[in-house]
Amino acid sequence: MPPIVYLNHWSGNGPAALTGGESPRAEARPLYELAQWDLTRVRALLVPANVDQRFLLTQRDRLEAYLLAGGAMVFNGHVAYPFLRWLAPFVPGAARGLDGLRVYRAADHPVFDGVQGEHLTFRRGVAGFYARGGNPPPEGAQVLNTLGPDALPVDWVLALPGGGRLLAHAGNDLWMYAGSTDTAGRIVPQLFAWLHGDSA
């Protein structure tokens, strides 16, 4: 089966939750070698929150072709340089204290099955780690989780022609929840189960 690839923008081998252990979930590859890859041999791309979006913008045509041909991508972070036609710049949430940081489920999805909004709102008793705004979804996307009373779209998924899938999360890397002892610990294994499947 083609690998799930983590776009490694630092030195080292990527997050241990993804690329460590005897049976790693993903394979780390250097971001700046992306132009040399045969993307037809990649199951999914994992894009971390602090990735060089300006570089990804130079790869826009290849990345869009990959997704339209059935590839999958998980994007984390704030969109600053829309490197895909389906992305738009990040919109910060209004400063409303705790109410503005609460995460709410908008639609069921396998990645977030059984994950409680309270366990996304708070991490180690502190609110605001999950998200502080949203990346506007494109037409046809399904919003999965929202933020605050304005229901900013924190997580959304877009099913593309040809079977491609784009999951966007407007916050820190989803894999930071690997090993969590509350229901947020379900995210990483369910994310990989979803990537290995075919459902939108």
CA distances from 70 to 139, 149, 162, 181, 195 (A): 19, 35, 5, 34, 12
- Quick one: 4 exposed, middle or buried, by C-beta within 10 A (0-12, 13-18, 19+)? buried
**What does the pLDDT average to over 5-20?**
92
Residue 170 CA to residue 19 CA, distance in Å, equals 22
**DSSP classification of residue 37:** S
Domain regions of the chain by residue span: 4-196
Taken in order 178, 24, 83, 141, the sign of the CA dihedral is negative
Half-sphere exposure of 41 (CA within 13 A, CB side): 5
Question: pLDDT digit string (tens) for 82-122?
Answer: 999 999 999 999 878 899 999 999 999 999 999 999 999 99
Question: pLDDT digit string (tens) for 127-185?
Answer: 889 999 999 999 999 999 999 999 999 999 999 999 999 999 999 999 999 999 999 99
Question: pLDDT digit string (tens) for 143-152?
Answer: 999 999 999 9
CATH code matching the domain that covers 4-196, chosen among 2.40.300, 3.40.50, 1.20.1260, 3.90.320: 3.40.50
**Residue 142 pairs with which residues in a beta bridge?**
157
